[in-house]
C-alpha cells in the first residue's frame, strides 16, 4: 500500500476559506449526534472523513448543505451563512454538489435528463446548452453512450458516475461524497474512485466520507477521524496512517487495515 | 472429511462451456390440459363441476339472446312475437334507446348537441391520455374541450364559456409571470386575475346574451347515460388534481394546512356518499351566497368530487410514502425548490405507483354516479327505475334493461382498466 508516493501534494490549496464550521452541535431528539464540531476547509482541499458507523460523519457533511438541520453553532459555505433562510439554503445547495451512497438518480428520467434537470430549472440554462454541458461531463465520467438509457439499465458503478456527472453539471465549487462506494460491487469501486481522483486533480474542493483508505492516501490533504459525534483526530494522511495518536484511532485503523 | 474427496480441490477451467438452447419441454394442448384441468382427482372433479356450471348458464343465456326480439312497440307485442320461446324482449332497448342515453326531458331535436360533444370527447381525451406519443400542442384541444362541451350540452351564449376560458388563460399567464417571485404569490395573483376577468366578462356576457346563442337546456333536463358520463368525466378530472393537493397538504410541515387536509380527508371518508348527495340536494344551498342558486348538478359535482378526491388523496399518499427518502434529498441537494421537486421528481414517480389505485377510485366513482338516481335525477339507472319500468308499456322488463345498463357501464369501465394497464407498461423504465 505504498501509494503515498503518488500523493499529488503539489495540488494547489489556496488560502481562501471554502467552508467554516464553528462550535456546531446537533441532536436527534435527546441524542447528541454532533458535538462541538470546528472545521475549516480551504478552497481546493480534499478531506477524507472516516470513523465507525454511527459516529456522525454522514450527518456532518449532510449539515453542510442543510439536508440535516443543526441546532447550535455556525456554518458558512462560500461566504454564505447557513441559517433557516430558505434563499441562503437554496443558494448553498446549488453551489455544493453531493453524491449519495445509493446514487439517488431519478429513475423516471433518462441519464441525460437526470443531468440537465437542475441546470434547466434552477440555473435557467437553455435546454441545448444544458445538454451540451451534460454530455461534456458524461464524457468525462466515460459514459456518454448511455445518455438515453434509464438509470435502472445501468450498473451500480455507472449509476454512481452518472450521479457525479449530475452534480458537476451544476458547476459546484464544493463536492460532498457520502460513502460513494459502499453500495458497490468490488469490481466497480475502482471506476468510481478513478472519477473522484480525476476530480481531485482538477482542484475541486472535496469532502468524502469513505472507508477507501487507498483513496485517502492518494488524494487527501487531510484525514479526519470521528467517533461518538466528535472529531477525534485529524492529520495529513501520511502521519495519520503511520503515526496515529489517539487510542481510538489506533484501534480503528488496526481493525480496518489489519486484515 | 478430506478422504471423502477422491480428487484434489484445485480446479482450473481450460475451455469455455458453449451456451446451448434450453431442453424442449413437453408442449401442446394435451400437456396444457393435463397440467391445468386433470392434474389430480380433486382438480378433475372441479373441472367437471366448472363445465357443468358454465353449461347451465349458457343454456339459459344463449336462447335468451338468440330468440330475443328487437321489434315490438310494448310488452304485449313482445310477448306475442316471442310465443313463450324464452327469448328476451330487447325491443324495449331499441324503443327507449334515446331515453336511456339522454333522459326523457332533453329535447329530441337537440340530441345532436350532446352527441357531437360525445364524439368530440374522443378528440379531446387522447392528447391527455397519450401525452408521450402525440405532440404537446394537441393538449390545446383538451383544454378547449370542456368549454365547447358545456356550450353544446347546455346551450346559451357562446360568450359565457369563452369568458370562462379567457379567465383561466389570463390567470395562468399572470401566474407564470409572478411565479418567479414565489409559487404562492404567483398562485394568488393568478386567482385574482382570473376572478377579475370572470366578473367583468360575466357582465359583458349578460349584456350580449344573444351572441352565438344556442337554445338553452336546463340542467334538470339532462339524464340517461349522458348524465353518468358528464358526472364521471367532470368529477374524475377535477378530483385527481384536488386529490394531489390534499395528499401533499397532508404531508405539509405547516400545521394549519396539514390539519385542514387531515380533517377533510377523514371526514369525507367517514361519511357515505349517499348522505353527501342528500346534503347536496337539500342543505348545500345554505352555504352559497344568497340569490345564487347553483344548479343541482353543480352541487352534485361538488359532492362527488370532494368524496373521490379524499380517496385519491389517500391513494397518492401511499405512492408518496413508497418513494425512498433519497429522492427528496437528491432534489434538495441539487437546489430544486419545493414546487419544482414535487412537480419534476416526486409526483411523476408517486403518481406512477398510484395508477392502479387511482383507476380503482375512478372506476368506482363512475359507477357511483348512478347513486344520483336516489335524489331524483334521471341518470341511466334513474331512467330505468323510473320512467321506463313504471310505464305501462314496459312494466316488468327487468332483465333486458338492467343487462343493457351493465353492458354500457362495463364497456367504459373495462376501457379505463385496459388503458391503465397499458399506461403502467409504458411508464416502466427499469427493464426495457
Task: Identify all chain B residues contacting A152, using CB atoms and an 8 Å cutoff.
Answer: 429-431
A118 touches chain B (CB under 8 A): yes
Average pLDDT on B378-384 reads 90
Size of interface A-B (CB pairs under 8 A): 72
pTM of the model: 0.83
Listed range (B140-144, B182-186, B298-302) with the worst mean pLDDT: B182-186
Grade residue B225 by pLDDT with cuts at 50, 70 and 90: very high
Yes or no, beta carbons of A170 and B335 under 8 Å apart? yes
Confidence at B155, pLDDT banded by 50, 70, 90: confident
User: Is B188 within a domain?
Assistant: no
Split at pLDDT 50, 70, 90, the class of B6 is low
| Cβ count near A8 (within 10 Å) | 12
Closest in B340, B344, B429 to A107, CB measured:
B429
Amino acid B90: pLDDT: 87
B329: nearest CB among A100, A107, A153: A100
Which residue among A100, A107, A122 places its CB closest to the CB of B430? A107
Range of the domain at B322: 220-387
Residues of chain B with Cβ-Cβ distance to A66 below 8 Å are: 332
Specify the residue for cell string 479526519. A224
**Bridging pattern class, strands A80-81 and A205-209:** unpaired
- Contact at CB, A100 and B336, closer than 8 angstroms: no
Structural domain count of chain B: 2
Which chain B residues touch A91 with a CB distance below 8 Å? 335
Residue with grid cell 354500457, as numbered in its chain:
B408
Q: CA B313 to CA B246: how far, in whole Å?
A: 6
| CATH number of this structure's domain A17-257, picked from the four choices 3.30.9.10, 1.10.10.10, 3.40.50.300, 1.20.1250.20 | 3.40.50.300
Alpha carbon distance B56, B62 (integer Å): 10
What is the per-residue pLDDT across B79-129, written as a single tens digit (0 to 9) for each? Answer: 888 887 778 888 888 888 888 998 888 888 888 999 999 999 988 888 888
Of B371, B387, B403, the residue that ends a domain is: B387
Say which of B330, B352, B427 has its CB closest to residue A104.
B330
Contact A101, A180 (CB under 8 A): yes
CATH of the domain at B321: 1.10.3720.10
Distance CA A141, CA A135 (A): 10
Phi, psi of A225 (to 5 degrees): -110, 125
- For chain A (259 residues), the mean pLDDT of every run of 10, in chain order, is 41 75 90 90 90 89 90 89 82 90 92 93 91 92 90 90 92 92 87 89 90 87 90 89 88 79
Mutation to test the A interface, candidates B254, B322, B334, most A Cβ within 10 Å: B334
Asked if the C-beta of B328 comes within 8 angstroms of chain A's C-beta atoms, the answer is: no
Q: Which residues of A touch B340 (CB under 8 A)?
A: 121-122
* A93 closest CB neighbour out of B334, B348, B352: B334
Closest by Cβ to A100, choosing from B330, B427, B432: B330
- pLDDT of B431 above 80: no
Q: Where are the alpha helices (DSSP H) in B21-111?
A: 29-36, 41-66, 75-82, 91-102
Residues 267-326 (B) with a CB less than 8 A from some CB of A: 324, 326
Test B335 with A90 for CB contact under 8 angstroms: yes
Asked if residue B251 is part of any domain, the answer here is yes
**Interface mutation vs chain A, best among B254, B330, B349, B424, most A CBs within 10 Å:** B330
Decide if B146 is inside a domain. no
Contacts of A122 in chain B (CB under 8 A): 334-336, 340
Name the pLDDT band for B330 (thresholds 50, 70, 90): very high
Q: What angle do CA B362, B106, B77 make, to 5 degrees?
A: 100
Q: Report the pLDDT value the prediction gives residue B4, as an integer from 0 to 100.
A: 56
Question: Which residues of B fall within a CB distance of 8 Å from A100?
Answer: 326, 329-330, 333
> Is B112 part of any domain?
no
- Contact assessment for residue B70 and residue B94, using Cβ atoms and an 8 Å cutoff: yes
Please state, in angstroms and rounded to a whole number, the distance separating the CA atoms of residues B339 and B186: 12
**Residues A139-157 as b or e (16 or more Cβ within 10 Å = b):** ebbebbebbebbbeebebb
What whole-number distance in Å separates Cα of residue B58 and Cα of residue B7?
A: 69
Asked if B335 and A118 come within 8 Å (Cβ–Cβ), the reply is yes
Interface of A with B in 196-225 (CB under 8 A): none
**Contact by Cβ (8 Å): B373, B379:** yes
Query: How close, in Å, is residue B332 to chain A by CA atoms?
Result: 7
The H-or-E segment that residue A35 falls in is strand A31-42
Average pLDDT over residues B143-162: 88
Judge whether B350 lies within some domain.
yes
Say yes or no for a CB contact (<8 Å) between A67 and B329: yes
Query: What are the chain A neighbours of B432 within 8 Å (beta carbons)?
Result: 150, 153
Flag whether residue B337 sits within 8 Å of chain A, measured between CB atoms: yes
CB contact under 8 Å between A67 and B334, yes or no, is no
Would you call A93 and B335 a contact, using CB atoms and an 8 Å cutoff?
yes
List chain B residues with CB under 8 Å of A97.
Answer: 333
- Please state the domain extents for chain A: 17-257
Per-position b or e across B351-381, b if 16+ CB within 10 A of its CB = bbbbbebbbbbbbebbebbbbbbebebbbbb
- pLDDT recorded at residue A110: 92
For A118, the closest of B334, B430, B432 (CB atoms) is B334
Residue pair A99/A192 in contact (Cβ under 8 Å)? The answer is: no
pLDDT tens for A61-83 read 999 988 988 888 889 998 888 88
In A43-106 the beta strands, taken as DSSP E runs, fall at 46-50, 72-77, 80-81, 96-99
Place of cell 379524499: B310
- Which three-class secondary structure state does DSSP give residue A230? strand
Percent of chain A with pLDDT over 90: 37
Among A66, A91, A170, the residue with its CB nearest the CB of B334 is: A170
Mean pLDDT for all residues in chain A: 87
For residues B182 and A255, the model is more confident at A255
User: A182 touching B, CB under 8 A?
Assistant: no
pLDDT grade for B292, boundaries at 50, 70 and 90: low
SS3 content of chain B, % helix, strand, coil (to 5): 75, 0, 25
Of B333, B340, B349, the CB nearest to A108: B349
Cα–Cα dist A202/A198, whole Å: 7
Q: How high is the ipTM of this complex?
A: 0.88
Amino acid at each position: 500500500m505504498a501509494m503515498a508516493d503518488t500523493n499529488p501534494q503539489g495540488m494547489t490549496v489556496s488560502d481562501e476559506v471554502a467552508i467554516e464550521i464553528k462550535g456546531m452541535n446537533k441532536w436527534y431528539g435527546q441524542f447528541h449526534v454532533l458535538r462541538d464540531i470546528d472545521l475549516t476547509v480551504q478552497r481546493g482541499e480534499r478531506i477524507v472523513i472516516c470513523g465507525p458507523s454511527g459516529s456522525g460523519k454522514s450527518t456532518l457533511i449532510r449539515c453542510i448543505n442543510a439536508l440535516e438541520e443543526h441546532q447550535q453553532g455556525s456554518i458558512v459555505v462560500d461566504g454564505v451563512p447557513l441559517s433557516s433562510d430558505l434563499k441562503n439554503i437554496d443558494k448553498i445547495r446549488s453551489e455544493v454538489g453531493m453524491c449519495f451512497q445509493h446514487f439517488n438518480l431519478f429513475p423516471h428520467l433518462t441519464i441525460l435528463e437526470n443531468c440537465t434537470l437542475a441546470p434547466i430549472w434552477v440555473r435557467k440554462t437553455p435546454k441545448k446548452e444544458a445538454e451540451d454541458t451534460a454530455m461534456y461531463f458524461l464524457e468525462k465520467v466515460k459514459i456518454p453512450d448511455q445518455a438515453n438509457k434509464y438509470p435502472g439499465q445501468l450498473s451500480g458503478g455507472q449509476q454512481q458516475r452518472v450521479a457525479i456527472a449530475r452534480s458537476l453539471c451544476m458547476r459546484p465549487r464544493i463536492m460532498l461524497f457520502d460513502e460513494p462506494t459502499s453500495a458497490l460491487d468490488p469490481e466497480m469501486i475502482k471506476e468510481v474512485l478513478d472519477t473522484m481522483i480525476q476530480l481531485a486533480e482538477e482542484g475541486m474542493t472535496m469532502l468524502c466520507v469513505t472507508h477507501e483508505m487507498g483513496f485517502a492516501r492518494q488524494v487527501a490533504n487531510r484525514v479526519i477521524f470521528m467517533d461518538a459525534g466528535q472529531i477525534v483526530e485529524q492529520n495529513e494522511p501520511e502521519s495519520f496512517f503511520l503515526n496515529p495518536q489517539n487510542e481510538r484511532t489506533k484501534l480503528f485503523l488496526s481493525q480496518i487495515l489489519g486484515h | 472429511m478430506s478422504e471423502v474427496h477422491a480428487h484434489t480441490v484445485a480446479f482450473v477451467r481450460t475451455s469455455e462451456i458453449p451456451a446451448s438452447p434450453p431442453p424442449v419441454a413437453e408442449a401442446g394442448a394435451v400437456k396444457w390440459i393435463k397440467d391445468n384441468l386433470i392434474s389430480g382427482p380433486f382438480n378433475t372433479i372441479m373441472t367437471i363441476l366448472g363445465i357443468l356450471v358454465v353449461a347451465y348458464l349458457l343454456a339459459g343465456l344463449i336462447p335468451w339472446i338468440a330468440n330475443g326480439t328487437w321489434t315490438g312497440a310494448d310488452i304485449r307485442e313482445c310477448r306475442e312475437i316471442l310465443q313463450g320461446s324464452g327469448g328476451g324482449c330487447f325491443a324495449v332497448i331499441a324503443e327507449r334507446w334515446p331515453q336511456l342515453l339522454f333522459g326523457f326531458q332533453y329535447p329530441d331535436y337537440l340530441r345532436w348537441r350532446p352527441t357531437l360533444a360525445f364524439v368530440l370527447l374522443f378528440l379531446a381525451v387522447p392528447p391527455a391520455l397519450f401525452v408521450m406519443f402525440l405532440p404537446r400542442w394537441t393538449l390545446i384541444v383538451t383544454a378547449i374541450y370542456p368549454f365547447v362541451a358545456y356550450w353544446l350540452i347546455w346551450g346559451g351564449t357562446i360568450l359565457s364559456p369563452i369568458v370562462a376560458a379567457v379567465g383561466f388563460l389570463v390567470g395562468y399567464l399572470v401566474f407564470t409571470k409572478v411565479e418567479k417571485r414565489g409559487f404562492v404569490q404567483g398562485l394568488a395573483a393568478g386567482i385574482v386575475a382570473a376572478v377579475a376577468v370572470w366578473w367583468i366578462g360575466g357582465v359583458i356576457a349578460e349584456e350580449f346574451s344573444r351572441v352565438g346563442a344556442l337554445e338553452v337546456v336546463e340542467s334538470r333536463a339532462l339524464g340517461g347515460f349522458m348524465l353518468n358520463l358528464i358526472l364521471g368525466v367532470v368529477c374524475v378530472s377535477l378530483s385527481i388534481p384536488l386529490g394531489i393537493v390534499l395528499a401533499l397538504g397532508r404531508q405539509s410541515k405547516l400545521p394549519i394546512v396539514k390539519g385542514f387536509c387531515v380533517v377533510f380527508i377523514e371526514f369525507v371518508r367517514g361519511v357515505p356518499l349517499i348522505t353527501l348527495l342528500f346534503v347536496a340536494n337539500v342543505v348545500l344551498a345554505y352555504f352559497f351566497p344568497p340569490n345564487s342558486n347553483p344548479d343541482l348538478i353543480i352541487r352534485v359535482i361538488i359532492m362527488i368530487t370532494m368524496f373521490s378526491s379524499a380517496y385519491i388523496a389517500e391513494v397518492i399518499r401511499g405512492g408518496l410514502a413508497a418513494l425512498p427518502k433519497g429522492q427528496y434529498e437528491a432534489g434538495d441537494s441539487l437546489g430544486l425548490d419545493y414546487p419544482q421537486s414535487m412537480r419534476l421528481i416526486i409526483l411523476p414517480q408517486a403518481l406512477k405507483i398510484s395508477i392502479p389505485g387511482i383507476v380503482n377510485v375512478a372506476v368506482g366513482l363512475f359507477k357511483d354516479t348512478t347513486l344520483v338516481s336516489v335524489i331524483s335525477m334521471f341518470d341511466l339507472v334513474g331512467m330505468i327505475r323510473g320512467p321506463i319500468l313504471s310505464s305501462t308499456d314496459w312494466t316488468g322488463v327487468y332483465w333486458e334493461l338492467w343487462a343493457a345498463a351493465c353492458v354500457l357501464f362495463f364497456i367504459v369501465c373495462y376501457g379505463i382498466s385496459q388503458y391503465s394497464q397499458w399506461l403502467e407498461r409504458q411508464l416502466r423504465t427499469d427493464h426495457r
